[in-house]
Amino acid sequence: MSEKKIVTRMAPSPTGEFHIGGMRTLLFNWAFAKKNNGNFIVRIEDTDRARLVEGATERLLEVVTDYGFSWDQGPEVGGDHAPYVQSERLDLYKRHALDLVSDGKAYYCFCTSERLDQMREEQKKKGITSTKYDGHCLHLTDDQVAKHLSENTPFVIRLKVPNNRVISWVDGVLGKVSFNSNEIDDQILLKSDGFPTYHLGVVVDDHLMEVTHVMRGNEWLPSTPKHILLYEAFGWEIPMHLHLPNLKELGSNQKLSKRHGPVSARGFLDEGYLAEALVNYLMFLGWNPGTEKEIYSLDEFVQDFTLEKIHKADLVAFDRKKLEWYNGQYIQLISDSELSKRLKPFAHKDASEEILNSIAPLVKGRIKKLSEFAGMTNFYFETSIVDHTLFSENSKDHVNAAYKALSALDDWLLETINEVLMNVVTNHSFKTGEFFMNLRVSITGQKISPPINESLIILGKDEVISRLEAIIKVV
């Protein structure tokens, strides 16, 4: 008998921007499928209609692609189990929910929202903090149910959860996990609007799409016993469940916060992080190869990735400084021409391809994020207002000497500029660092910039002399 094909999936909800933690989970699912010559599925779980955000599905798929991932089955590519958007599969969920009712594993509930609110308030008065459905409709007779249905009374379908039963499974990361069924509500499976809840939709789809490994963040751990009960009610094989540590801000137990920077996958790209650097960093959020190796291509990660090396932890720290380090490494790894292309969205509106090609090599070792590029290089395209407090006390002598030497040049070449400016330093007994810092401030308006002599070449003699003349009048 042939071994079952490995199938993993990522099933985001289009209720906003895709979280960076979701991208980490997607990476692990994708890598495990690829390592085992399996299939990776993307499925859109859009059944929470109240929180649905227009255009979010398209942005989700776009950002996954921008991070370098593709899927074997799902939206835009199709597959044997299409459609891959839950709102297009409603009849399927209803049929399965009704099958459970017929088998006595689920039941109709006709309780109004007013009755449910009152029930919860009464439970809270009794000191019950985690309120549960009281099973009122579980005890309706067949005739009462038939009467409600004939009168088109709105209903939901609830799972019949057994009393005081220990539900256990072996988690692929955490090991043996157990819950008592008394902690579990009679979950709604089908809502009154005909849409499934998350619990019904995910179990039906994972089964029909032949998912073998359900790998998700550990915030979903309390949902797993509910899903196991559903698998058992349907008589289906239960896939392996694996719960990954969630992400937290470094130095606290708080989830990622916009106060510290981006939290969405798109936000990090917009901030100027390279997708390759982000993916490399995400590899280490809950996994470690057990070696000193830190720079991984996707192919290398697939080769080394094993479930045994996933951390058995609740939380892992998201170190934004470490991510910046990775990004700086990748900026230096890519070619100058590729960096020039990546910088275009972050550059001054007047930046041509030619000038970007000239500047890219100069900033390669100086920026950690592409978003830093504009602040460092806008002086190429517009004259800055110089803050005179940036000058040292010898600035007037420095600027005048540089102006005279550069004005006299006929050959505006880097070698010539290097030579003549060093002669200025030597002949006037200037301090080298102080002289070039004052020259940098005169030309760029800032203390940090790409190499100043190379920048003089890019700006051209006329522009450089013009800027020095303006500074001489006020320095």
Residues taking part in catalysis: 258
Task: Name the amino acid, one letter, at 436.
Answer: F
DSSP 210-227: T--EEEEEGGGGGGHHHH
**How many residues would you count in the chain?**
475
Helices and strands counted in the chain (H then E) = 19, 11
> Which one, of 381, 295, 355, 385, lies nearest residue 331 by Cα?
295
Residues 7 and 33: their CA atoms lie apart, in Å, by: 6
CB 53 within 8 A of CB 335: no
CA-to-CA distance for 158 and 45, rounded, in angstroms? 20
Q: Give the burial class of 82: count Cβ atoms within 10 A of its Cβ; 0-12 exposed, 13-18 middle, 19 or more buried.
A: middle
Angular region, 256: left φ>0, alpha ψ -120 to 50, beta rest: beta
Q: How far apart are CA 96 and CA 102, in angstroms?
A: 10
List the beta strands (DSSP E) in 152-212.
156-159, 166-171, 175-180, 188-190
Distance CA 128, CA 122 (A): 9
- The values of phi and psi at residue 145, to 5°, are -65, -45
